[in-house]
Structure 1
Amino acid sequence: MTKTLATFTGRMLLVGCGNMAGAMLDRWLAAGLDPALVAIVDPFAKPREGIAHFAALADWLAAEQGAEWIMLGMKPQQLGEVADDLTPVLTGETHLLSILAGVSLADLALRFPAAKAQVRILPNLAARIGAGVSAFATLGDVDAAAVAGLLDPLGTVVALADDSTMDLITAFTGSGPAFVFRLIESYAAAGERLGLSSDDALKLAIATFGGSTALLADSGEKPGVLVAQVASKGGTTQAGLDVLDEGGQLAALLTNVLRAARDRGRELADIARGDG
């Protein structure tokens, strides 16, 4: 069934519209969101047809336009710069959405107590094509059906009981696409070093990763089951797996990658609160 926003109502203000917020907006527009309901406060935002674009928050405030939905999509360390100006336009009808890494629901509630609800969302870039992952948690008098309807067109949606694991999920799914892209890039580079042309190596790497993840998702099996279907004792696949699995080095490397990204999220939270 097509996930549509053609019946979505309520004005939306995007405070910041960089890569991630822009990907979400592009998908929402493709899903039928009326661009006349959207305003953007971001002097660097990519123009979107039919959307009112304001270079600065002061311009939007001067226009005296309300918004039932306000999404924070700038850098988390910029929260202090916009909080004071944004506070007067938040009302008991406003859902405050945030995709700011490291900024907790408690932080949002402290900064913007007048909002009807605070919704912390962790999307990823594949939302642009409706294949993303959006984990979210809420605080306050949230319209759960409306929030779910807004996130559904972006891809897989995971509702969390609270935001206690959000820093890890930021690293795991939010940063995850970049890690996967780097793995594909490195896989292609390895093929090129061993004799493939750069074009063939990248094309084959993309197809191999894409086909493998699609098969895994379609099969409903654990990854190890499919590993066993590809590998045979003493064969070529097992020879490569022996290198990957030696000393648990791959798992250790990925754990360190996620830990570094998670910890940086916590540092950004301290900066956003003015503690850093």
Structure 2
Amino acid sequence: MTGMPIGRIVLVGAGNMGGAMLTGWLKSGIPGDSVTVVDPNPSDAMKAKLAEAGATWTAEAGAAGRADILFIAVKPQVMDAVLPAFKAVVGPDTVVVSVAAGKTLASMESHLGPAAMVRAMPNTPAMIGRGVTGAFANDKVSAAQRDLVHQLLAVSGPVEWVGSEAEINAVTAVSGSGPAYVFYLVECMAEAGRKAGLQADLALRLARETVAGAGELLHQSPDTPDRLRQNVTSPGGTTAAALAVLMDEKGMQPLFDAAIEAARKRAEELAQ
């Protein structure tokens, strides 16, 4: 983190995503005593981490006090039940950040009142500092608040700001849900390897390490994905034979088109 003043952070929810964010904040140098976590049932490991960092934990919204940043990291299914208790936490200088899929700014305002608000969509690799987050800020968010939110989100990986709230649903479909697609790719590769004659455990190890290694190469290389693909593909070779199937008009692209659209529509439905 830079030397920008952080203020008081109230984090609602210390599960997988909230816990990952908190861990990143503490590692980046944010003082533990500037953070209050509101969670009715944090894990023992989380309680120990909070105690070690000097952060405050409470089960009650009323004990949180006024926040400079109210960070909402609960599941979208419980947002409507949880948010009303936090209206008193939001002051005129508070910025509210939500990572709940599908829950709109209008929905949050109906519970918290008009405020500076950011919708953000991180993904699960944030838990190891390798996530990516899409974010949208309403017009009440000041430049300083946006910079601060950017820093808080960036401890888990790159942050990409979008120009409209509707785009967050597409971000959710591509990167928010995206890790599951990659994990399923490993499952499919491993099963295909088993059917090709490999022992199941060997096929899984090969598929797992191949996807992890290819992802790291993509991360480190300045080349585009299509250039990296071409580098692996010899004309008339084994990779070209496989890609002829995967890149067929009924191959991966139309499947991904349909999958991303299904996820985007579901994100819209969650907002209803």
Taking a change above 3 Å as real, the CA distance of residues 64 and 108 of structure 1, as seen in their structure-2 partners, is closer
Contact 1:8 1:33 in 2 (8 A): no
In 2, the alpha carbon distance for the partners of 1:224 and 1:238 equals 13
SS in 1 for 2:10: strand
The C-alpha deviation readout for 1:100-151, integer Å capped at 9, x for no partner, is: 1112233333432343x10111111111222110111111133122112212
Contact 2:133 2:153 in 1 (8 A): yes
Out of 223, 226, 229, which is 1:227 matched to? 229
Taking a change above 3 Å as real, the CA distance of residues 108 and 226 of structure 1, as seen in their structure-2 partners, is same
Q: TM-score, length-normalised on structure 2?
A: 0.87
Contact 1:5 1:31 in 2 (8 A): no
In 2, the alpha carbon distance for the partners of 1:168 and 1:227 equals 25
In 2, the alpha carbon distance for the partners of 1:32 and 1:5 equals 9
**Pair 1:145 & 2:147 matched:** yes
Q: TM-score, length-normalised on structure 1?
A: 0.86
Out of 228, 250, 253, which is 1:251 matched to? 253
Out of 192, 195, 200, which is 1:193 matched to? 195
SS in 1 for 2:119: strand
SS in 2 for 1:266: helix
Of 83-92 and 188-197, more deviation after overlay is shown by: 188-197
In 1, the alpha carbon distance for the partners of 2:201 and 2:29 equals 37
1:273 aligns to what?
Answer: none
Contact 1:16 1:72 in 2 (8 A): yes
2:42 aligns to what?
Answer: 45
Contact 1:5 1:32 in 2 (8 A): no
The C-alpha deviation readout for 1:67-86, integer Å capped at 9, x for no partner, is: 21111111223222123221
1:194 Cα deviation from its structure 2 partner: 2.2
Aligned residues: 262
Gaps of 5+ in 1: 271-276
* Larger RCO: 1 or 2 (CA < 8 Å, sep 6+): 1
In 2, the alpha carbon distance for the partners of 1:173 and 1:130 equals 15
The C-alpha deviation readout for 1:134-179, integer Å capped at 9, x for no partner, is: 1111111331221122122111111122222111111111111111
1:118 aligns to what?
Answer: 117
Gaps of 5+ in 2: none
2:65 aligns to what?
Answer: 65
SS in 1 for 2:249: helix
In 1, the alpha carbon distance for the partners of 2:61 and 2:123 equals 28
Amino acid at match of 1:213: G
1:17 aligns to what?
Answer: 14
2:75 aligns to what?
Answer: 75
In 1, the alpha carbon distance for the partners of 2:6 and 2:230 equals 50
SS in 2 for 1:141: coil
The C-alpha deviation readout for 1:176-234, integer Å capped at 9, x for no partner, is: 11111111122122223323333332322222112222323333323222222222222
1:177 aligns to what?
Answer: 179
**Structural RMSD (CA):** 2.1
In 1, the alpha carbon distance for the partners of 2:13 and 2:64 equals 19
In 1, the alpha carbon distance for the partners of 2:64 and 2:214 equals 51
Taking a change above 3 Å as real, the CA distance of residues 9 and 267 of structure 1, as seen in their structure-2 partners, is same
Amino acid at match of 1:23: A
Amino acid at match of 1:44: N
1:274 aligns to what?
Answer: none
Kindly report which structure 2 residues correspond to 1:97-108, keeping only aligned pairs within 5 A, or say none: 97-108=97-108
In 1, the alpha carbon distance for the partners of 2:196 and 2:160 equals 41
In 2, the alpha carbon distance for the partners of 1:183 and 1:172 equals 15
Identity of aligned residues (%): 36
Contact 1:92 1:114 in 2 (8 A): no
2:26 aligns to what?
Answer: 29
SS in 2 for 1:135: strand
SS in 2 for 1:162: coil
In 1, the alpha carbon distance for the partners of 2:188 and 2:112 equals 43
Of 123-132 and 216-225, more deviation after overlay is shown by: 216-225
Contact 2:4 2:148 in 1 (8 A): no
